[in-house]
Amino acid sequence: METIHRVVVGDARQLSSVDDASVELVVTSPPYPMIEMWDDLFTDLEPSIGDALESGNGRAAFEAMHAQLDQVWDELERVLVDGGIACINVGDATRTLDDSFRVYPNHARILEAFEARGFDPLPDVLWRKPTNSTAKFMGSGTLPPNAYVTLEHEYVLLFRKGGDRRSFEPGADRRYEAAFFWEERNRWFTDVWTDVRGELQALEFDGADAESDRAADLRDRSAAYPLEIPYRLISMYSAYGDTVLDPFWGTGTTTLAAMCAGRDSIGVELEETFLEVFDDRVDGVPALSRSIGRARLDRHQTFVADRRAAGKPPQYDATHYDTSVVTKMERDIRFREVTGVADLEDGAGYRLTHEPLTIDSAE
């Protein structure tokens, strides 16, 4: 099996390189409006934003920043297939402008924007991420009434494009082999994620040289999310053969996850410099895809052993792995490992070969 991963330097407000109805899943994290690190970027996109910030008009700046994101949401509506899913990771912002402190509810504004474009909101995920302790102490310290709650969560907003639901041939391999284990379903489809601690990131650098200073610096500058976030979302909402789009690509974490998950991908990023370090990350993809498959299988074996010990052994045998599973739907689950990486002929991305991960290669 082959997958194609295109990376485009460009402005996602116009996704001219992406065809209508050619994407099954969007996984992305935009620059968060009203978070200071993105002020310059938004002002470059729309100069009146800088004026609004300077004059202390937070409400106008917030709205003008979202007006830039709205143009990208318009494009997502065009490029997604009917029934395709959009997963938007975003956090709210707290900020003091003109001596006035408030929260800017990015998640609510984006929810409205997607609904206005005909998307159906789905139950979302609250991603709980601990902040450092000094950030917790906001406002009037230990005196009422002007101490502030610390934002320690972000959202993964989930939307389905209207029209027909996606349909598959009965028993389609590309869907059944992309199944997830029953216990993964229980963990992944819970509405509060407290267990995203960069475990896959640890695998990414396992055995490899430490991340270069330049890559680490770019990661900070781009507010990259942990690999676990896009990998999980891709596994939850797409099948083999699907294309995943990230219009705010940053360091390419979504593409990395799509490569490991055996899906095609497209990434669009304004800043060309982000693309330069991605080659380093791609070099590690064959080993990373193997370790991720192996980690999922290992975790499953532990789950099966625990169930057996508790006197509730899973009832079904998996087809491709020497293990049992809880539901019929999981039987054909089959991970892919990346066995080859090549540049696309036009240099604008990568062509990967994948083989089914066997128990041997998983050992």
Long-range contacts of 106-110 (CB under 8 A, 24+ apart): 106/32, 106/33, 106/34, 106/66, 107/155, 107/157, 109/33, 109/62, 109/66, 110/66, 110/69, 110/73, 110/157
CB of 273 to ligand SAM, least distance (A): 9
Would you say 62 or 274 has its CB closer to ligand SAM? Answer: 274
Q: SS in 3 state form for 106-163?
A: HHHHHHHHHHHCCCEEEEEEEEECCCCHHHHCEECCCCCCCEECCCCEEEEEEEECCC
**Binding region for ligand SAM (CB under 6 A):** 11-13, 29-31, 41, 222-225, 248, 250-251, 253, 268-271, 274
CB of 269 to ligand SAM, least distance (A): 5
Would you say 220 or 306 has its CB closer to ligand SAM? Answer: 220
Beta-ladder partners of 9: 269
Q: Is the dihedral of CA 210, 222, 353, 168 positive or negative?
A: positive
Q: Identify whether the C-beta of residue 27 lies closer than 8 Å to the C-beta of residue 244.
A: yes
Rounded-to-integer distance, Cα 269 and Cα 273, Å: 10
Could you give the 3-state DSSP secondary structure of residue 274?
helix
CB of 38 to ligand SAM, least distance (A): 8
CB of 145 to ligand SAM, least distance (A): 34
Which residue has its beta carbon closest to ligand SAM?
Answer: 250
What six digits make up the tokens of 220?
Answer: 């900070």
Would you say 58 or 226 has its CB closer to ligand SAM? Answer: 226
Would you say 9 or 172 has its CB closer to ligand SAM? Answer: 9
Would you say 269 or 330 has its CB closer to ligand SAM? Answer: 269
Would you say 183 or 264 has its CB closer to ligand SAM? Answer: 264
Q: Identify whether the C-beta of residue 268 lies closer than 8 Å to the C-beta of residue 247.
A: yes
CB of 270 to ligand SAM, least distance (A): 4
CB of 298 to ligand SAM, least distance (A): 26
